[in-house]
Every structure is written in C-alpha cells, then in structure tokens.
C-alpha cells in the first residue's frame, strides 16, 4: 500500500491503519487489522474487557512495542519509519500515562514531574529539580497543583499511595504540554472526586487547546460523559466505533458479556 | 636528577625489599646521588623496566643476570657475595632414599621457575648425579612452604631449596621435629648476586656508583643488616669488583638442564 | 488531602547535616591527596605508548609450539574451576540468605556471617593453599578447596546483595499468606533474583579459571602455572597463546550459558 | 476473554526440547567427570583438620614487630586503591552503558565492548604491570594503572548487568516522553540501579586493596608486597597481622560507606 | 490498658483498638487512634481519599507494617504479640489482595495461585505447580476459574495485563481458603463485568461460609451494594462508621470534598 493513500488529511491527529500484534508464543493475536482515524481535538475512550489489548494498542501506537503489521501516523509523521531523534520528537508531543504509572521511585515527586519537561526542553537541567530553571520548577509545581498534589512535591515517588502515584504520572504528562494524551486507565486508582477532577482537566484542555485525548477506561460513565467517541476492543479486533452521544453506559455493558 | 635503583628476587635478602631505608640513605650518602629505591616483587617487571630504560640500576640474582644478558645489554657494576649461598635437596630423615640417584621416578618439589637456589640449583644437583631431571623425576613447581608441607605429608619425596630456606623451616618446627629432615645433597656455592646497570646510564654515573660501593662496602653492608633480628643472615657478605660474565656460565648450564635452552647460550661462544 | 493553601516550591537541595558535609569534604581531600600521591601523569603514559606496543608486538604471533599440552591444561583447569565453583555456590546460597538484611534470622548472625565472608575473602590464596595442603596434601583436591573458598568469598556477598535488592512486594505477599521464611525465599526471592544469581555464578566460574595460578601452586597443574612460567621466562608469545585460550574459553562459556539462561528464565513453572 | 470451555490443567513440566535435554545431560556428565577428577574426599579433609589448626597456630599470636611500617603500607595501599578504583569506575560507567543489552547504540558495539572488557579481565595483572612498567616505569603510577584495568574489567561487567536488570517501566516512560537516551540513563537507569552500582564500586575498592600485590610487582610498595615478603620469609605471624589489618580496613570502609549509602539513597532530588 | 479489656468477645473476627501510624519523616500521622470491631461474616467497605491511609490500615492490621500504637485482634489472637510460626498461622487465615497485586512475575499464573495454598499446607510441594499434588493443582485451577482466567494458567505472571494480574491476585487469596479477606481496591483494574463477578464471589463466600470481608474501594456503588458497613478515613482518623443501608452513593461523595 502506498504512503499517499494512507497519509492522513488535514486535521487528523492520529491515523491507525491495519495494525496487528501477536505476542511471541501466543496462540491468538491480541488484535488484528485495527484501523481508525482520530481528528485533532477529539476525545476518544477505548473500552474492552481485561486482556482485550487496550494497553497493547496504546503502546503499539507509540512504538513502545513494535506492532507486527500496519502503520501509525501522528499528523503527517509515519511513526513506523522513524528512529532516534525524529521518533523522540513525535513521541514528545504525546503525553503517555501508563497503567502502572512508571515513576522513578527513588526520585522526588517534583523531579518525576519535571521529567515531562524533557518533551520540550532538551537541557540537562530538566534531569533533577535541584538544578532545574526556576520557571520549569514552578511549572512542574503548577502541574502538580492541577492534580492536587503540590504539598507532596518533596516526597519520594516510591513512598506514595497508589492514587497519589497515579496523579504524579498525570502531572508528568501535563508537564509535557502535549498535543495529544494517551491515558491508560488514568483514574483507576483515584478517588471519585479526584477522578472527576482529572477527567475535567483533560476535557478542558481538549476544548481550550484542542488537545486530542485517547483514554482507556473501565468507567463506562466516564466513557460516555468525557469522550466524543468510543472505541471498543473485543474478539481480537475493533468491534465498536461510535459517537458517545449515541451510546449509554448500560448499552456499553453489553461489550463485556 | 635521581637515579632509579630497583631490587628484585634476592633470596635471603627479602628484608631489603621492605626495610631498605637505612641502605638507601647510606648509598645516597656515599655516592652523593639521589636514589629512588624500588623494591620489586617480580623479576619480569624489573627486567622489563631495565630494558625499557625506566630503571637505571638493578640489584638481582644470577638467574636474572643471565636472562638480562640475553634480552638487553646490561653491564655489571659490582657483585655481592654471600657465604653459604647454595642449594640443597632435602628428604625426611626416615626416608629410604640415601643416594640422589634413588630419586629416579620420585616426585620432587622445587621453587618457582627461574629461581637460582630453589629451582636451577636443585635441578643441577640431580643432573650432576647422572639423572635426567625432566625425564627421570616428577618436578613440581610450587611455593616452597607448600612443598615443605607436601614433604611432611609424603606427597613429595624430596624438596630442593636454598640453605636459608631450610634454616627458616627448621626454626619453625617444634623442637622434637627439627631432626626429622635430612640433607640428601648440597651444591657448591652459587654465583653471586649482582648490581646491574642499564646501557643508557652514562659511564660516569656507573663509575661513581662503583667507586662509592667499593670504598664504603663495610658501611653499606652494615646498613643492610640494620633489620634487628636478621643481622645474622647478612654476616660475611661482601662486594666483589671483578665479576666476569663467564662466572655465570654455570647458571646457563642450569637453565639448559632445567629445560630452557634459550638462556643457555654462553656469551663469547 | 486537599490543602488549598498556596504551596511553595521545595528547596532545591536539602541542607546537608554538618556531619555529612564534613565527611564529604574529608573524602574529597583524601581523594585529592591520593591522586597527587599516585604520581599520575597522562603525558608520561602517552609517550610510553610505543613501549607498550613493543611488548605487545613481542606477543605476536602467539606461539603454537606447546599448543597441545596447553589445551590439556586449560581443560584440566576448567574442570577444577567448575567443581570449585559449583560447590562454592552451593555453600554461598545459604550463607547469603543468613547474611542478607531482610532474611537473616538475627542481626547478630548477619554481622557474624558478613564478617566471616569478608575474612574468607581477605585471606590470600596462598594462605588457603597452605591450609589445605597441610590437611589434604598437594594435588587437585587442595586446589579445588582453595577455589571453593574464593567462590564463597565472592558469591556469598553478591548473592546477599541480590537478595536484598529484590523488590519487596511479592515476598511481602507470600509473608501475608503465612508462608514460612524458607518458602518466601524459594518461591519469591530466588526466582526474582535468578538473573543476577546466574550472572554472579558465571562470573565466579570465570574468576576461578583465571585465578588458576593457585592450582599450580598446589601441584595440581592447570593453565595458571603455565602462564606464570611463560611470563617468568619472557616467552610472551606463549603467554599470549594462553591468554587467548583462556579468553576463548571464557567467551565460549558465556555463549553457552547465555543460551542456557534465556531458556531457563523463560521456563514457566 | 470468557471462554467457558472446561480448561485442563497445564502440563506439570514443559517437555524440554531434545537440544536442551542433551545439553543438560552433557553438563551433568561433565560435572560428574570433573568431580571425580578433582579427587574429592571428605574424610581426608576431616582427618587433615588438625594439621590446619597447626598451621593456624603458627599464625598466632600475630606479630607486632613491624606494626608501624605495616600500617603505613596499608595506608599507601588504600590511597592507591582509591585512586585506581575512582578512575576505573569513571571509565566503567560509559563502557557499561555501551555494552548493556538495552542501551547499547548497536549490537556490534555491544559485542565489541563486551569482548574487550572480558579481554581486559583475562590479561593477568602481571601482564598489565609489564605494559605499564614499559610505558611509565616502575612506581605508583604503573600500579594505579594496573588497578584501573582491574577495576574496569570487574565494574564494567557488573555495572552493565545492573543496568540490564533495571525494571523496564520507568525508562520506558521517559522514552515515551521523548527523552534522549542519555537522559533516560541519567534520570531513570542510574537512580534505579544506584544501590547495586554503589555495592559494586565498594567491592571494587576492596578488591583493589586486596589485590595490592600488583603494587609490589611494579615497585610501588604497599601492603601486598609486605604480605608477599612475609610469606616468602615464612613469617606467618606477620602475614596474619597484615591479613587482620586489611580485614579491619575493609570492615571500616564497609561501615563508613554503608552509612554514606543510606544517607545518599534517602536523599530526595 | 490491660488485655482482658480489649479482648474481643465471641463472634468478633477483627478488633482494631487505638491504632496509630506515622511514617518516619512525615509531619502528620497517617491516622491516629483508629478503633473498630468487625463481627464474623460482616462485609466492610473502607473508603477515603487518595492518601487517606486505607492501604496502610490494612497493612498495619496484618503487621506488614508495624503500627506505632494500638492493638489488633484476629479472633482471640492479639497479633501484636505474635512472632514466627504463630504470626504466620494468624496471617494464613486472612487472604490479602494487594493494591499492586504483588505477583511473582517470573513464575507461571498457576504457580502464583498455588502459593496461596501455603496457608493450609506447609509442604514444599506447594512451591511450584510442577511438583504439587494433583488435588492442589486442580483446586488452584478452580480458583482461577472463579476469576475466569483458567485459560491463562500457563502464562508467566509478568506477561499479564493489569486486570488479569489483579484477577490472579484474587485467585491466590481464594486459594488460601481464608476466613477473612482483606482486599485493597480489588476491582480497580477489572472491567465492569469482571468487577461485579468478583464482588459477587466475595459476597457469596460471606453468605455461605460466613467469610469476613474488608475491602477498600473507590466505587461508592460497590461500597453501598456489596458491604454491610462502611468505614471512612478522613482527616487523619476514622470519620465514618455506618451501616451501608443507611447510606447512598451520592451521600458518600461528600467524604471527598
Ligand atoms: N509481554 C507479553 N507477553 C505475552 N503476552 C502478553 C504480554 N503483555 C500482554 N500480553 C497479553 O496480551 C493481552 C492484552 O494485554 P493488554 O495489557 O493490552 O490488555 P488490556 O486490554 O490493557 O487489559 P486490562 O484491562 O487488564 O489492562 C493479554 O491477554 C495479555 O495476557
Ligand atoms: N513508605 C512510606 N513512607 C512515607 N510515607 C508513606 C509511605 N507509604 C505511604 N505513605 C504516605 O501515607 C499516606 C497513606 O498512604 P496509603 O497508601 O495508605 O493511602 P491510601 O488511602 O491507600 O491511598 P490510595 O487510595 O491512593 O491507595 C500517603 O499520604 C502516603 O504518601
Ligand atoms: Mg491495560
Ligand atoms: Mg491504597
């Protein structure tokens, strides 16, 4: 297939085309031939049962895992062909919130958040909060404030509670000033209030800065409320792709039977 | 400009490796030269240093001299004679072996390869008794202290060593065991230790050194002996002026006997 | 949870305690002093490079005259190293558990075993060889025992470190199940630290092969003695051959074991 | 997801591939052969224990006659070891990154550096000493350089291992941010592997102190030469003193550094 | 305070009395003077904001962390005074599901589940599934079936998705045949259907075998629906202790403001 065909048009933030992945030694593929386009500024929820491959899909899009086949475009960049600096540059535009948070336990919360700044400032001063520029440290603290964790900025990341460390991971993604956010169950460990707050922050960014948001969730209410569109993974493929206003939470429950 | 003087592998002079300060002071005083004194525990390193002109003088044993002659043109400054410097072959007192020929087929411990009194000397003793050491006997190279234990346990039937080694071992044995060992054979006195000089050192420095040593040999020897307990070991030591290369042909023969013909070419042949 | 008060930036650096500041300064001073004492001079190193090349060229081409006996020696060495390492690892594992911070039965036990292992490490090979020669005589057994001690000194310490570094969640989960300490160690600690244990064990094997000089000392033959002799006699070409052979052996072992490791670690219990 | 079909128990063990079964059997056979070749005999070891005790008694009481010069030697040794280790660690860190599975710029680079480091390890101390003596002459500098090589051979390998064992989540997160490799290494790999790096570094320091014999090889003095000489003179009481002193030094360093480590690792950046 | 006073009466499965905990270096205690009794067979939900100390409370009860003051009784056993075997025996009666799952990644799923059996069979054959008794392996598989994961019994635990590894942790706790379950956000990573299933399994056990259930959750609906009683942690202490039928999810939302 030639690139010109797949090349996404104006305003398409993410195009996934014919993506398949099968882990070594597995009998089934996780999913195969997954394709979708996401316009800029759209908020997309990905839902699906445990092990349906939601996390794997996000990872494959960023090429943290190599997909077996298929192509992924961020804007005009076909990420499959990129290496080194060019790959980093594309990735830096996407804030990725991992299901397992993936903080550096032995560093402080503020330093962990600051690391997000490496997306836009490739200076060694981003490495540790002790040597960072004042405005960067302040911005990191501002990101922490958005997840209501500013008072723990000095604590070691390894000494946080589950929800607190998830919030730090979110703050780190905000620190990236991203054009797009990939969030893998970003509110799974958050208390109900914090969960709403975080989804609200994301939605605001989507509205005001036309941030593209792709989030995985098991909260069907969140999917319906905070997404414009819902993608469902089931039976080794994409089984649902619909606008969220056409759906209700109880309808979506059918996905899991 | 200091001269560099290294000392290596002087069996019986080990004290000088660590208590060299009095000797160094004395030598500086009598020669008027500044001296960097470098005790080296390995002869290979010392000889390579001399070859690459990283050291000016080297105080070493006869085996080193022979090797050095082969690898680089070192000259002799003075010789250092010690009485009672000879090799022995020792067996246990109750051993049935009384003739060295009876060692045929037996296991014999000797010191590390290339040591004059602990390896070359004993091998030569076997050879002069008509044995072919490499074929007729099992030679085991080891640390002598280990060989001594091996002799006691009966793993080894005989051990070749220097005279001072035997004295050291016996001194540590309990009183009732000191007569449990017997000397099977002893060699004549071995060639002298000597002070060598690298070819890069100006003749004048060499002469200066040689003259100072000749003139003050008594005080220098006294300074070596300042180690307290060990004074006795160094009694009767003296510096010798007329050292000829042929004095070391014996050592070359020993090398051949020991199976290292590369160091057996007599100079001048 | 939700303190809304304006929060200030944390300090860039925590103010170090006067004690640790002092300790740090003392360390820097010590380091500076030591560096000046070491007489480091890069220019000297650079100008000396040609000499290095000269020695290296003497190693080329590696000698092939004694290839067969050398290969045999390498093989014998490898066998003894293997036995010594396997036994040593077997002893190290329980010691490591006893001396690890989190699985020791008591802090006193921990301190004692730690010191013991440090002490085993501090005692030089020659002294171990002496002990074992005195008790079991010259020969491969004494050599193997020495290698066992070497392995314990190294492995017990690094095993303990690996055990201490295991992430604490899964062992905690087993403790919460009410599993015995032994079960926690075998079911969580061991599988989780397996890659590190295997690496350490392999290094110990390599170390045993390399330190096989001690086998020569106790009359057990082996490649180490061959290498020492080659160096003593300036047969650098032979030494090069031996080094290359050991190197190839080490590479080979690494290859084989890295294969074994990947297949072992993938195994699903 | 929700296959309701009755699922069977998985096999107890996966059937090993014929290749790995063969390899395993070969290993067992090799081990058995080696063990029989090593002449292991526990009874012999037990009956020999009294002899061991006798040797140990020769070491008691440790000699105090040379305490002062020995203490000085220990100090000098420690200084050189410190310098050698610090430089060695500095060189090892980048090498370790280059040779680690996950952060090497290229597999070829990795294979090359890995082999290089293995090779550095395989070359014996004496050979390094020769190289450096030839280039920079006898003295502390040559000794330090030898220690540097020792440290590289050890640390680069273990550092690489620590780097490879870091949990992959956090580095992956930084990679997803678009951080450069250098940043990932410094911000995630380094802090996460810090305890292991510090441990390895401390062990390297200890190893350098213990292996200070090489300092003697190049005439840089140090406690290794003292120990060698004591052994050479069969003064095991002196050797015991030296071993104890090194042991105390090692214990002291461990104490100080374990303190430093706890305070360092707690530091919040 | 003398033991006789605190000693719980018949039918009290868990008594917590005057428990306080302050982490080294922290300015506030996590909570202090927490006391409650839980009768056997009761289902208790613990709720509270992120960092309120829910996980710490569960850990302190099991003495996985030492509390600063206070006592914890399991039945008649004051766990504070126990060591070694006796401590193990009390712990073995409680199934603990960790927030971070805490599986042994390098072992298979079935082996991980089997480990739960060490609670009642102290035999080395519980160490690995390859050497376990047939009935134990079958029971482990049965526990996996309860969380619908039997088909993955051969997979390595480190290769599971987030929800799958949480299910394995639950199966491990079931394998313990426990009298009590402490579950720290047991359904946080589960899909909606699986979450309901798991809570249902717990509830059934509570009904049929009078299992005592203490679970932490941020799903207020779950707290109301599956618990008999709700405990709330807030402001460094226990701020809520009420029967769940007197509460509604929206009321509970007030806890987080
Ligand atoms: N490294 C791996 N090796 C083999 N299989 C894997 C690996 N990682 C994940 N899998 C499998 O791939 C499937 C998809 O995993 P993934 O983590 O993407 O699921 P998910 O949709 O995110 O589920 P969850 O809701 O539980 O997070 C699962 O069945 C899982 O067991
Ligand atoms: N090891 C530790 N050292 C210092 N503080 C800690 C440590 N562990 C937890 N804390 C702190 O204790 C508080 C309570 O933590 P805990 O994990 O119990 O919270 P939680 O109620 O379980 O929260 P969540 O809902 O996020 O899981 C948090 O503020 C956390 O930062
Ligand atoms: Mg997932
Ligand atoms: Mg928690």
Residue range D232-257, pLDDT digits in tens: 777 788 888 888 888 998 888 888 87
Chain segment D62-79, per-residue pLDDT in tens:
777 778 888 888 888 888
Question: What pLDDT sits at residue C269?
Answer: 44
Q: What is the pLDDT of residue C99?
A: 92
Q: Give the least confident one: B39-48, B228-237, B240-249, C182-191.
A: B228-237
Parallel, antiparallel, or unpaired for β E212-216 and E180-184?
A: parallel
User: Are the C-beta atoms of residues C94 and C155 closer than 8 Å to each other?
Assistant: no
Do residues B83 and B189 make contact, with C-beta atoms less than 8 angstroms apart?
Answer: yes
Give the residue ranges of DSSP H helices in chain D.
18-37, 42-58, 67-99, 107-122, 125-136, 140-165, 169-177, 181-184, 190-210, 213-217, 223-232, 236-266
For residue E252, name the pLDDT band (cuts at 50, 70, 90).
confident
C-contacting residues in A 150-179 (Cβ below 8 Å): 150-151, 153-154
Can you read off the two tokens belonging to residue E244? Answer: 């769940």
- For residue B136, what pLDDT is reported? 84
- CA–chain centroid gap for C207, Å, is 7
> Is a pLDDT exceeding 90 seen at residue A21?
yes
Q: What is the pLDDT of residue D21?
A: 85
Position A47 scores a pLDDT of 94
pLDDT of residue C133: 85
Assess whether pLDDT exceeds 60 at residue A1.
no
Write the pLDDT tens digit of every residue in C64-75.
788 888 888 888
Q: Quick one: pLDDT at residue E9?
A: 67
Number of domains, chain C: 1
Reply yes or no on whether the pLDDT at B116 is more than 80.
Answer: yes
Whole-Å CA distances, C204 to A12, C85, C158, C197: 57, 6, 10, 10
Please name the chains neighbouring E, where neighbouring means 3+ C-beta pairs under 8 angstroms. A, C, D
Check whether B76 has a pLDDT greater than 80: yes
Q: For chain E, what is the HEC assignment?
A: CCHHHHCCCCCEEEEEEEEEECCCCCCCCCEEEEEEEEECCCEEEEEECCCCCHHHHHHHHCCCCCCCEEEEEECCEEHHHCCHHHHHHHHHCEEEECCCCCCCCCCEHHHHHHHHHHHCCCCHHHCCHHHCCHHHHHHHHHHHHHCCCHHHCCCEHHHCCHHHHHHHHHHHHHHCCCCEEEEECCCCCCCHHHHHHHHHHHHHHHHHHCCEEEEECCCHHHHHHHCCEEEEEECCEEEEEEEHHHCCHHHHHHHHC
Q: Averaged over E166-193, what is the pLDDT?
A: 94
Instruction: Look over chain C and give the mean of its residue pLDDT values, rounded to a whole number.
Output: 85
CA–CA separation, D268 vs A111, rounded Å?
Answer: 9
Q: What is the pLDDT of residue E33?
A: 93
Q: What is the CATH number of the domain that holds D89?
A: 1.10.3720.10
Give per-residue burial for D180-211: e unless 16+ CB within 10 Å, then b.
Answer: bbebbbbbbbbbbbebbbbbbbbbbbbbbbbb
Mean pLDDT throughout C69-92?
90
**In the predicted model, what is the mean pLDDT of residues E93-102?**
94
Q: Is pLDDT of A10 > 80?
A: no
Query: How many C-beta atoms surround the C-beta of residue E32 within 10 A?
Result: 18
Q: Are the beta carbons of C269 and E108 separated by less than 8 Å?
A: yes
If pLDDT is split at 50, 70 and 90, which confidence band does C83 have? Answer: very high
Residue E5 has pLDDT above 70, yes or no: no
pTM exceeds 0.90 for this model: yes
- Is residue D61 assigned to a domain? no
pLDDT at E2 over 50: no
Q: How many residues does chain C have?
A: 269
> pLDDT by residue (tens digit) across D111-140?
999 999 999 999 988 888 888 888 888 888
pLDDT of residue B268 exceeding 70: no
Nearest residue CA, atom 29 of ligand 1? A51
- pLDDT for B77 equals 85
Lowest mean pLDDT among A36-45, B188-197, C172-181: B188-197
If 0-12 CB within 10 Å is exposed, 13-18 middle and 19+ buried, where does residue E64 land? middle
pLDDT in tens, A176-219: 999 999 999 999 999 999 999 999 999 999 999 999 999 999 99
The rounded distance, in Å, linking the Cα atoms of B194 and E237 is 88
Token representation of residue C262: 């990947």
Range of the domain at C232: 68-268
Rounded to the nearest angstrom, the gap between the alpha carbon of residue A86 and the centroid of all alpha carbons in its chain is: 20
Tokens of D85: 């280790």
Q: Provide the number of CB pairs (under 8 Å) joining chain A to chain E.
A: 92
- Is C213 a residue whose pLDDT tops 80? no
The per-residue pLDDT for B193 is: 85
| Residue D63, in any domain of the structure | no
pLDDT band per the 50, 70, 90 thresholds, residue E35? very high
Q: How confident is the model at residue C52 (pLDDT cuts 50, 70, 90)?
A: confident
Check residue A164 and give its pLDDT. 95
Residue-level pLDDT at B12: 64
Contact residues of ligand 1, CB 6 A cut-off: A 23, 26, 30, 48, 50-56, 99; E 159-164, 189
pLDDT tens, D213-226? 778 777 777 788 78
pLDDT at C95 over 90: yes
Rounded CA separation E10/E7 (Å): 10
SS3 A188: coil
**Structure confidence at residue B60 as a pLDDT band (50, 70, 90):** confident
Query: Comparing C-alpha atoms, which of E146, E212, E153 is closest to residue E181?
Result: E212
Question: How many Cα atoms occupy the beta-carbon half-sphere of D33 within 13 Å?
Answer: 10
Averaged pLDDT of chain B: 82
Better-predicted residue by pLDDT, B8 or E15 = E15
Q: How far is E11 from chain C (nearest CA, A)?
A: 23
The arrangement of strands across the sheet holding A69-74 comes to A31-39, A12-21, A69-74, A77-78
Residue A23 buriedness (CB in 10 A; 0-12 / 13-18 / 19+): middle
Contact residues for D81 (Cβ-Cβ < 8 A; gap 6+): D147, D205, D208, D209, D212
pLDDT at E121 over 60: yes
For residue B14, give the nearest of B254, B257, B269, B230 by alpha carbon: B230
The confidence band for B15, taking pLDDT boundaries of 50, 70 and 90, is: low
Give the pLDDT of residue D231.
Answer: 78
Q: How far apart are CA E40 and CA E94, in angstroms?
A: 12
- The whole-number average pLDDT for the span B110-138 is 86
Is D204 part of any domain? yes
Task: Report the gap between the CA of A24 and the closest CA in chain E (Å).
Answer: 11
pLDDT of residue D269: 43
pLDDT at residue C4, as a whole number? 43
The highest-confidence range among A146-160, B101-115, B157-171, by mean pLDDT, is A146-160
For the stretch A64-78, pLDDT in tens is 999 999 999 998 889
Closest-CA residue, ligand 1 atom 1, reads E159
Output the pLDDT for position E4: 45
Please state, in angstroms and rounded to a whole number, the distance separating the CA atoms of residues A8 and A38: 10
* CA D224/CA A144 separation, integer angstroms: 56
- Is the ipTM higher than 0.95? The answer is no
- Ligand 2: residues within 6 Å at CB? A 159-164, 189; E 23, 26, 30, 48, 50-56, 99
Which residues on A lie below 8 Å from E47 (Cβ)?
191
Map out the domains of chain E as residue ranges.
104-164
Compute the distance from residue D150 Cα to the ligand 3 centre, in Å: 46
**Residue B266: its pLDDT value, please?**
62
Looking at residues E58-63, what average pLDDT do you find?
A: 94
Test C210 with D268 for CB contact under 8 angstroms: no
Out of A135-139, B130-134, B264-268, E47-51, least confident range: B264-268
Give the model's pLDDT for residue B195: 87
**pLDDT band (50, 70, 90) for residue D266:** low
Q: Give the mutation target among A26, A51, A231, A256 for probing the ligand 1 site: most ligand atoms within 8 A of CB.
A: A51
pLDDT (0 to 100) of residue A195: 93
Residue C1: predicted pLDDT: 42
**Mean pLDDT confidence for C148-152:** 94
CB contact under 8 A, C232 and B114: yes
pLDDT for res A9: 66
Ligand 4 is an ion; residues with CB less than 5 A from it: A 161-162; E 55, 99
User: Between chains, do C203 and D227 touch, taking CB under 8 Å as contact?
Assistant: no
pLDDT of residue B228: 55
Query: For the purposes of burial, counting CB atoms within 10 Å of the CB of D119, is it exposed (0-12), middle (13-18) or buried (19 or more)?
Result: middle
Residue A69 touches partner D, C-beta closer than 8 Å: no
User: How far is the centre of ligand 1, averaged over its atoms, from the C-alpha of A198 (Å)?
Assistant: 25
Percentage of residues in chain B having pLDDT higher than 90:
4
Residue spans of alpha helices (H) in A147-191: 162-175
E153 vs chain D: nearest CA distance in angstroms? 7
Mean pLDDT across chain A? 91
Higher pLDDT, D263 or C106: C106
Mean pLDDT for chain E overall: 91
């Amino acid at each position: 297939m030639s690139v010109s065909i797949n090349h996404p048009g104006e305003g398409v933030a993410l195009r996934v085309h014919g993506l398949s992945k099968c882990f070594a030694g597995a009998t089934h593929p996780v999913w195969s031939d997954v394709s979708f386009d996401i316009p800029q500024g759209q908020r997309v929820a990905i839902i699906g049962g445990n092990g349906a491959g939601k996390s794997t899909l996000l990872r494959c899009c960023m090429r943290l895992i190599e997909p077996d086949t298929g192509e992924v475009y961020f804007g005009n960049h076909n990420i499959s062909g990129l290496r080194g600096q060019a790959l980093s540059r594309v990735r830096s535009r996407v804030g990725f919130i991992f299901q397992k948070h993936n903080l550096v336990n032995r560093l402080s919360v503020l330093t962990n958040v600051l690391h997000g700044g490496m997306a836009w400032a490739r200076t060694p001063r981003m490495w540790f909060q002790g040597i960072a520029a004042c405005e960067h440290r302040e911005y990191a603290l501002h990101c922490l404030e958005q997840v209501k964790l500013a008072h723990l900025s000095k604590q070691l990341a390894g000494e946080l509670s589950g929800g607190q460390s998830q919030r730090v991971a979110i703050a780190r993604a905000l620190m990236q000033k991203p054009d797009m956010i990939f969030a893998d169950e970003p509110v799974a460990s958050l208390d109900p209030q914090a969960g709403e707050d975080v989804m609200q922050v994301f939605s605001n960014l989507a509205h005001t800065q036309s941030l593209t948001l792709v989030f995985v969730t098991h909260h069907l209410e969140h999917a319906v409320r905070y997404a414009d569109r819902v993608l469902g993974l089931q039976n080794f493929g994409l089984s649902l792709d619909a606008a969220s206003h056409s759906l209700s939470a109880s309808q979506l429950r059918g996905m899991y039977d | 400009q200091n001269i560099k003087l290294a000392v290596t592998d002087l069996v019986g002079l080990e004290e000088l490796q660590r208590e060299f300060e009095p000797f160094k002071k004395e030598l500086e005083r009598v020669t008027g030269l500044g001296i960097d004194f470098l005790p080296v525990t390995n002869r290979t390193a010392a000889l390579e240093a001399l070859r690459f002109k990283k050291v000016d003088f080297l105080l070493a044993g006869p085996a080193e001299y022979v090797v050095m002659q082969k690898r680089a043109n070192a000259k002799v400054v003075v010789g250092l004679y010690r009485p009672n410097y000879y090799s022995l072959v020792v067996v246990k007192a109750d051993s049935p072996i009384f003739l060295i020929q009876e060692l045929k087929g037996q296991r014999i411990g000797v010191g590390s390869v290339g040591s004059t009194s602990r390896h070359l000397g004993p091998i030569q003793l076997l050879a002069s008794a008509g044995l072919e050491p490499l074929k007729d006997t099992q030679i085991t190279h080891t640390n002598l202290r280990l060989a001594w234990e091996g002799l006691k346990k009966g793993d080894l039937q005989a051990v070749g060593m220097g005279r001072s080694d035997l004295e050291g071992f016996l001194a540590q044995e309990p009183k009732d065991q000191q007569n449990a060992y017997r000397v099977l054979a002893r060699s004549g006195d071995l060639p002298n230790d000597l002070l060598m000089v690298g070819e890069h050192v100006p003749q004048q420095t060499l002469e200066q050194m040689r003259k100072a040593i000749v003139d003050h040999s008594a005080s220098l020897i006294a300074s070596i002996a300042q180690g307290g307990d060990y004074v006795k070991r160094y009694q009767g030591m003296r510096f010798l002026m007329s050292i000829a290369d042929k004095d070391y042909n014996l050592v070359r023969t020993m090398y051949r006997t020991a199976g290292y013909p590369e160091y057996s070419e007599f100079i001048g042949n | 949870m939700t303190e809304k008060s304006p929060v200030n930036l944390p300090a860039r650096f925590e103010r170090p305690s006067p004690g640790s500041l002092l300790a740090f300064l003392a360390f820097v001073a010590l380091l500076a002093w030591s560096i000046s004492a070491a007489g480091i001079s890069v220019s000297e190193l650079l100008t000396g490079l040609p000499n290095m090349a000269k020695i290296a060229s003497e190693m080329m081409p590696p000698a092939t005259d004694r290839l067969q006996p050398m290969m045999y020696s390498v093989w014998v060495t490898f066998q003894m190293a293997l036995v010594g390492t396997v036994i040593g690892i077997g002893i190290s594992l329980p010691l490591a558990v006893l001396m690890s911070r989190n699985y020791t039965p008591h802090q006193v036990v921990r301190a004692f075993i730690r010191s013991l292992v440090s002490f085993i490490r501090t005692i030089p090979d020659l002294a171990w060889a002496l002990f074992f020669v005195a008790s079991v005589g010259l020969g491969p057994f004494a050599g193997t025992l020495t290698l066992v001690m070497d392995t314990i000194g190294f492995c017990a310490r690094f095993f303990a470190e690996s055990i201490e570094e295991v992430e604490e969640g899964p062992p905690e989960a087993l403790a919460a199940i009410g599993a015995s300490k032994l079960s926690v160690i075998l079911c969580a600690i061991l599988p989780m630290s397996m890659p590190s244990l295997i690496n350490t064990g392999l290094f110990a094997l390599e170390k045993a092969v390399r330190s096989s000089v001690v086998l020569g000392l106790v009359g057990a033959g082996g490649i180490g003695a061959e290498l020492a002799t080659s160096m003593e006699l300036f047969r650098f070409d032979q030494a090069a051959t031996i080094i290359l052979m050991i190197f190839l052996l080490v590479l080979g072992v690494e290859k084989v074991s890295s294969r074994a490791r990947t297949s072992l670690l993938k195994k699903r219990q």
